[in-house]
Amino acid sequence: MLEVYLQTLTERDANEKDLGCGIAVSRFPFVIGRQDDCDYRICHRMISRRHCRFFVHDEEVWVIDQHSRNGTYLNGKLVREARCLSDGSLLNLAHLYFFEVHRPASSLTGTICGGPVEPEKVHAQCSRNVLVVEDNEDAAQTLALVLNRWGHKVWVAHSGSEALEVAEAQQPDTVLLDIHLSGMDGRQVAERLRNQEGMEKTRIVAITGYDPDRVPCPSGETGYDSLLTKPVDPDVLRDVLR
């Protein structure tokens, strides 16, 4: 599965990271603009109704401007025709919104690495109540099946808002959280989970398919307890759940 993550940068200085939300582009075509039917909506008068579009060609992700009034720029150059996105490229919408393009560190798309994962007998006292938060339904299902085979109780959420609802109702003791969710990103979800009653001591494990050295991973009361990289080593995951 091809995907890119557009990490938000500050409006004043594209070299200074803003650790707020970014945009996960994992389904195509993907349109950013001001209209309600856009895949990601930016409500600002400088952004056109349909500002730019992302699509896949020759196993690469491309961006093309949708005849916007104030332009789409890649690495400082106006996008007049389709341009291929590379890891580390700088995307600029209307000289107002700046993003750094991230591609997954691994070409492997699976959540769990290796071959079939054998069932594991888990003592009742070691069984976890796990919430899997992953917007890719196939990846979420695979991870949930593995955890079920290991004897854990599992709930699945495909968005940040759904994760907050499930967490409030089920009170999981462990959350496996994809960092790059569409809409509300993993950091925002983690912060809100920490503020929910009964979730103060819940273990939040961030999961990313990107280079961990380039992923904001705050610690403490508003951050993650640990960070795993896709595809996750089953032995590492077992250790995290113990």
CATH number for the domain that contains residue 190:
3.40.50.2300
Q: List beta partners, residue 112.
A: 232
Going by the DSSP 8-state scheme, the letter that residue 124 receives in this structure is: G
Whether residues 98 and 137 fall in one domain: no
Q: What is the mean pLDDT of residues 94-105?
A: 87
What pLDDT score does 215 carry?
A: 57
Q: Which of 60-74, 86-100, 144-158, 164-178 has the weakest average pLDDT? A: 144-158
Q: What is the CATH number of the domain that holds 33?
A: 2.60.200.20
Q: Average pLDDT over the chain, rounded to whole?
A: 83
Helix (H) or strand (E) holding 207: strand 203-208
Q: How far apart are CA 37 and CA 156, in angstroms?
A: 26
Tokens of 71: 């332009």
Whether residues 98 and 181 fall in one domain: no
What pLDDT score does 86 carry?
A: 93
pLDDT digits (tens, 9 = 90+) for 8-61: 885 444 433 333 457 878 789 999 999 999 988 899 999 999 999 999 999 899
Residue keyed to tokens 């993650």: 224
Among 43, 68, 102, the domain-final residue is 102
**Residue 119 covered by a domain:** no
**Residue 67 covered by a domain:** yes
Q: CA end-to-end span of the chain, whole Å?
A: 31
Whether residues 131 and 185 fall in one domain: yes
Whether residues 141 and 91 fall in one domain: no
Whether residues 64 and 11 fall in one domain: yes
What pLDDT score does 113 carry?
A: 63
Domain that holds residue 227: 124-241
**Residue 115 covered by a domain:** no
For residue 183, give the nearest of 68, 62, 29, 27 by alpha carbon.
27
Share of the chain above pLDDT 90, in %: 48
Q: Which of 12-16, 173-177, 194-198 has the weakest average pLDDT? A: 12-16
Q: Which of 57-66, 130-139, 230-239 has the highest mean pLDDT?
A: 57-66
Cβ atoms 229, 105 nearer than 8 A:
yes
Among 40, 69, 102, the domain-final residue is 102
Q: How many domains does the chain have?
A: 2
Q: Which of 24-38, 92-106, 190-204 has the weakest average pLDDT? A: 92-106
**Residue 109 covered by a domain:** no
> Is residue 87 predicted with pLDDT exceeding 80?
yes
**Residue 153 covered by a domain:** yes
Q: What is the mean pLDDT of residues 179-197?
A: 87
Q: List beta partners, residue 17.
A: 9
Whether residues 132 and 63 fall in one domain: no
Cβ atoms 72, 93 nearer than 8 A:
yes
What pLDDT score does 124 carry?
A: 43
Whether residues 98 and 129 fall in one domain: no
What pLDDT score does 50 carry?
A: 97
**Residue 14 covered by a domain:** yes
Whether residues 181 and 134 fall in one domain: yes
Whether residues 138 and 231 fall in one domain: yes
Q: List beta partners, residue 7.
A: 100
Whether residues 97 and 133 fall in one domain: no
Among 38, 71, 102, the domain-final residue is 102
